[in-house]
Amino acid sequence: MAIRNIRIEDDEILRKKSKEVKEITPRIEILVKDMIETMYHNDGVGLAAVQVGILKRIFVVDIQDDTGVKVFINPEILEKSGEELGPEGCLSLPGERDEVKRATYVKIKAQDIEGKEFILEATELLARAIQHEYDHLDGILFVDYNR
């Protein structure tokens, strides 16, 4: 495993759309492990592949509760409801913090590291982290909402 460099600020890759993962190869498995290590190393609660320079639809989230790290490959948000303003930051935008309006509930479908599909319902901080990371796959940054 290795800690990868995080792309920051006006790095153009952060604005690109990530592509679907067609097959979970050993390379993808290593990428995911590295992403988890990189997220922990930087005290983040989430990290998308694009943030380490790989345009694949993958993100990892760990809101530091007791449920551990979650891996989302080819995620799709199925439902959203509620609305709440809350503070956010991003490992790609060091020092920036802002209040962002997000849904308080999301239902998301994705594949895990074994390629198995799962559906997860999330609320509050986990829902917020999922929406933030999901945005990265489409080149959206949290600061965009207040511009």
The residue written with tokens 């991003």 in the block is 90
Residues 6+ apart with CB under 8 A from 29: 113
96 catalytic? Reply is: no
- Binding residues for Zn ion, rule CB under 5 A, total 1
Minimum distance of Zn ion from residue 111's CB (angstroms) = 21
Minimum distance of Zn ion from residue 95's CB (angstroms) = 13
Separation in Å, CA 139 to CA 48, 50, 60, 128:
11, 9, 16, 17
Would you give the binding string for Zn ion spanning residues 48-87, x where CB under 5 A is met?
----------------------------------------
Find out whether 62 and 70 touch, Cβ atoms under 8 Å: yes
Minimum distance of Zn ion from residue 47's CB (angstroms) = 8
90 binds Zn ion per the rule CB under 5 A: yes
Q: How many helices and strands, by DSSP H and E, does the chain display? A: 2, 7
Active centre residues (catalytic) = 133
**Which residues would be at the binding site for Zn ion (CB under 5 A)?**
90
